[in-house]
Structure 1
Amino acid sequence: MIDHEGRIKAAFDSGVFVLKLCGDVRLTLCATLDRQARQLAETPGLETLIIDLRDTTNVDSTALGFLAKVAMAVQGRVNERPTIIADNPDVRRMLDVMGFSRIFTLVETPIIETCALCELPEIPIDVEETRRRVLEAHRILIRLNEHNREEFQPLVEMLEAQEAASHEH
């Protein structure tokens, strides 16, 4: 039985970091993904990053933006591009359309069996923080390809306008 509420699990063993997303992964998990990106950027001994999406039913665009941020955080620190394991055709199609093949190696089956994963606690965030993270995620996605720029530019402009308005008050 698949649990539809999104969760993130992680493990680090022998230089391999595995991030497993489960269920419906949405913007509520962005703070958790963001912290993971920052921690990975500083993890000594990191050689390989694997993101496992086999138990994922959906990943929203904000969460995808933070997955891209995770990949960017380890660029130049790992030997090869981070790997995403995704066997769901809908998830694969979404990753392809979003330009993830530019920053990830996409595979359908795991290269290595993963070790025991620990669930990461969800980091709560307020409305203002959520808006900031949604904006950051979509700015990252816009840089990946033209499709994303066309798709998300209106959202980014709206969020930037909201941000500017909130600073005026």
Structure 2
Amino acid sequence: MITHEGRLKAAFEAGVFVLKLCGDVRLTLCATLDKEAQRLAAMPGLKTVLIDLREATNVDSTALGFLAKVAIAVQERVEHPPTIVVDHPDVRRMLDVMGFSRYFTLVRTPMTEPETLADLPQVESDEQGLQHRILEAHRILMRMNEHNREEFQPLVELLEAQEAKSAH
């Protein structure tokens, strides 16, 4: 069953953290993704991170930025890079273009879902918090490769200008 509204599910058992993205995952879920990245950075007993995109119909650039933040948060804590399971060719191509293969292992192999996979409660964010997270996500993406830097530079400059204006 493929859902259209974005949802996040997670499970942690035996040192393996599984994060599953379902449906249309957009910036409205970035506060939840940010919370998970922070939680993973401090999670005791973490050995492996798996991200399942098989039921994701769309993942916007802000959500991708926070997936990259997950990889950065755990890179010193786990032996191998996080694994992304993706079988949709368009999503795979987008991950390749954005440089995700440098930070993740990308596979098509079917995986068995943990029985403990549960919906994550959506973390609410006000407009200012949302804008800050959009800016953070795109800064992370820009650091991943030259293509992303060129692609997202105008957006980041615009968001930085808006943030500077609202600070005054």
Which TM-score band applies after superposition, normalised by the shorter structure? Answer: over 0.9
- Supply the AA of the counterpart residue of 1:84: I
Residue 37 (structure 1) aligned with residue 45 (structure 2)? no
Instruction: Give the CA deviation at 1:81.
Output: 0.5
Structure 1 counterpart of 2:147: 147
1:17 Cα deviation from its structure 2 partner: 0.4
Return the offset for 1:92: 0.1
Counterparts of residues 14-53 of structure 1 (less than 5 Å): 14-53=14-53
Gaps of 5+ in 2: none
**Could you say what secondary structure the match of 1:4 adopts?**
coil
Q: Counterpart in 2 of 1:57? A: 57
Give the 4+ runs in structure 1 shifted more than 4 A. none
Equivalence for 2:97: 97
Aligned residues: CA RMSD? 0.8
Question: Unaligned regions of 5+ residues in structure 1, if any?
Answer: none
Q: Give the aligned partner of residue 114 of structure 1.
A: 113
Distance 1:93 1:37 in 2: 24
Q: Is structure 2 residue 147 aligned with structure 1 residue 134?
A: no
Q: Identity of counterpart residues, as a percentage?
A: 71
Amino acid at match of 1:121: P
TM-score normalised by the chain length of structure 1:
0.97
Equivalent in the alignment of 1:125: 125
1:44, distance to aligned residue in structure 2 (A): 0.6
* Residues in 1 aligned to 2:80 and 2:65: alpha-carbon distance in whole angstroms: 20
Aligned mates of 2:87, 2:147 — CA distance in 1:
23
Give the AA of the match of 2:162: Q
What TM-score, normalized by structure 2, do the two folds share? Answer: 0.98
Tell me how far apart the structure 2 counterparts of residues 43 and 114 of structure 1 sit (CA, whole Å). 20
SS at match of 1:70: helix
Shift in Å, 1:114:
2.5
Aligned residues between the structures: 167
**What amino acid maps onto 2:97 in structure 1?**
V
Counterparts of 2:149 and 2:25, CA distance in 1 = 22
Letter in 1 for 2:147: H
Secondary structure class of the residue paired with 2:55: strand
